[in-house]
Amino acid sequence: MVDTKVTVYGAYWCPDCRRAKKFLGEQFVPYHWVDIEQDKDGEIVVLEKNQGKRIIPTIVFEDGTFLVEPTNAELAKKLGLTTEAKKTYYDLIIIGGGPAGLTAAIYASREGADTLLIERAGLGGQAGITVGLDNFPGFPEGVSGQEFSERVTQQAKRFGVEILQAVDVERLEMEEGYHEVYTSDGKHYHSRAILLATGASYRRLEVPGEDDYIGAGIHFCATCDGPFYKGAKEIVVIGGGNSAVEEGLHLTNFTEKVTLLVRGDKLTASQIAIDKVNQPGSHVEVKYNVIVDAFEGQDSKLKTIKYHYKDNDTMEEIHPAAAFIFIGQMPNTTFVKEYVEVDRYGFILSGHDLVHDDHMHKNGVLPFETSIPGIFVAGDARYGSTKQVASAVGEGAAASISIREFLRKMG
């Protein structure tokens, strides 16, 4: 986790500003956003830094230094992230630095395996953006997702795990008995075993306007972006499951009212969360059987959500300060779904869920091993996983034991 204070000067219509904000958000870097269209002092800062030119994004760091229109690689360098590995050969390469990947890294490295972990965004994965973990054993008062992620990362580093951040794995191949891991920065690394711990991502509504206002009124993380709306009259949350209800309740800390737009005719969250929504004075209103049709904006910022009810075609509108979308997740497996066996949603099959191929797995398939010998999977990306931090941690540990067995047999 990077501890720095950053101010991003930009404008809502600027795609490069959105990219830079997205990058900082993914790295869990807290930043102030100044829209120079609205803020004259902000515009003056930009003009001063750029010899009278209005170039955005201009990003000013805590130490007073600044970057103008930086690429993601330049931002990563400035934030002190390690993006290049020390070596090219490893016993184990772990792809994904969420709870599953970090736990497997602790186990493997502690037992002496030369381990490289590659993470494209912020360490901690989905757990890192969770407001509070109340159900992880050992924390009777709960723990913030951020603190949890920092602790696990520190532990992995203590055992010597090499960690790359802001590096996306794009492709896997096999060459002369070694797995080859190709990354977005044009590099590639070799390993004897691989763990896929790439988790899952937020599902989108795929309706008109959604892409246009991401980061400009449409969000997927209440912890990251909720505070921007402190004092707002109304925030809309789309979805009716656990994430939607819990994050909606969290957003009542910032806004007078949260309106939940639910596609179904009931909430499917835990009973505790539903009771909190229904209790008097919860500041949450629920509209059921709602189909969202479109997002519209003004001055490049979300202004309107258009929707209709399932049994009635009449279009209605709502004008919240922001919309947070929590409608489920999809596995981050696009880069391997042609390589290892996956189910129809892209979740990776392993162990006894595979149709066994004795030719491929000469010694039988190990638990958490995929259709390719030596490639393992753990956590939310795995078919059959239970999508919880505790189970991702457990799978990371269990997969590392299988990997140890695999490496031992390889000799």
Ligand X SMILES: Cc1cc2nc3c(=O)[nH]c(=O)nc-3n(C[C@H](O)[C@H](O)[C@H](O)COP(=O)(O)OP(=O)(O)OC[C@H]3O[C@@H](n4cnc5c(N)ncnc54)[C@H](O)[C@@H]3O)c2cc1C
Based on CB atoms, which residue is closest to ligand X, 46 or 94?
Answer: 94
Q: Does 394 bind ligand X (CB under 6 A)?
A: no
Of the ranges 44-52, 116-124, 345-353, 402-410, which one interacts with ligand X (CB under 6 A)?
A: 116-124
The torsion angles phi and psi of 117, rounded to 5 degrees, stand at -115, 130
Per-position x/- string for 183-222, each x denoting binding to ligand X as judged by CB under 6 A, each - no binding: --------------xxxx----------------------
Q: Can you read off the two tokens belonging to residue 355?
A: 């149709």
Is 144 strand, coil or helix? coil
Q: Which of 74, 150, 168, 353 binds ligand X (CB under 6 A)?
A: 168
Gap between the Cα atoms of 393 and 388, Å rounded: 9
Burial of 361 (0-12, 13-18, 19+ CB in 10 A): middle
Based on CB atoms, which residue is closest to ligand X, 26 or 43?
Answer: 26
In sequence order, the 6+-apart residues with CB closer than 8 A to the CB of 72 are 19, 23, 166
- What is the residue type of 199? G
Q: Does 243 bind ligand X (CB under 6 A)?
A: yes
Q: Does 379 bind ligand X (CB under 6 A)?
A: yes
Work out how close the CB of 400 gets to ligand X at its nearest, in angstroms, rounded to a whole number: 13
Residue, CB closest to ligand X: 199
Gap between the Cα atoms of 4 and 155, Å rounded: 21
CA 190 and chain centroid, separation: 26
Q: Does 67 bind ligand X (CB under 6 A)?
A: no
Based on CB atoms, which residue is closest to ligand X, 28 or 66?
Answer: 28
Size of site (CB under 6 A) for ligand X: 35
CB 91 within 8 A of CB 114: yes
Strand ranges inside 18-168, DSSP E: 31-35, 58-61, 66-68, 89-95, 115-118, 162-164
Nearest-CA neighbor of 395 among 369, 371, 372?
369
Work out how close the CB of 323 gets to ligand X at its nearest, in angstroms, rounded to a whole number: 15
* Residue recorded with tokens 């925030």: 235
Q: In what order do the strands lie in the sheet with 284-287?
A: 218-219, 322-325, 232-238, 255-261, 284-287
Based on CB atoms, which residue is closest to ligand X, 91 or 246?
Answer: 246
Is 257 strand, coil or helix? strand
Q: Does 29 bind ligand X (CB under 6 A)?
A: no
Work out how close the CB of 133 gets to ligand X at its nearest, in angstroms, rounded to a whole number: 5
Per-position x/- string for 126-145, each x denoting binding to ligand X as judged by CB under 6 A, each - no binding: xx--x--xxx----------
Q: Which of 25, 42, 57, 99 binds ligand X (CB under 6 A)?
A: 99
- Map the footprint of ligand X across residues 310-369, applying CB under 6 A: 332, 335
Based on CB atoms, which residue is closest to ligand X, 134 or 317?
Answer: 134
Q: Does 404 bind ligand X (CB under 6 A)?
A: no
Strand partners for 169: 183
Q: Does 116 bind ligand X (CB under 6 A)?
A: no
* Binding interface with ligand X (CB under 6 A): 95-101, 118-121, 125-127, 130, 133-135, 168-169, 197-200, 243, 247, 332, 335, 379-380, 387-390, 392
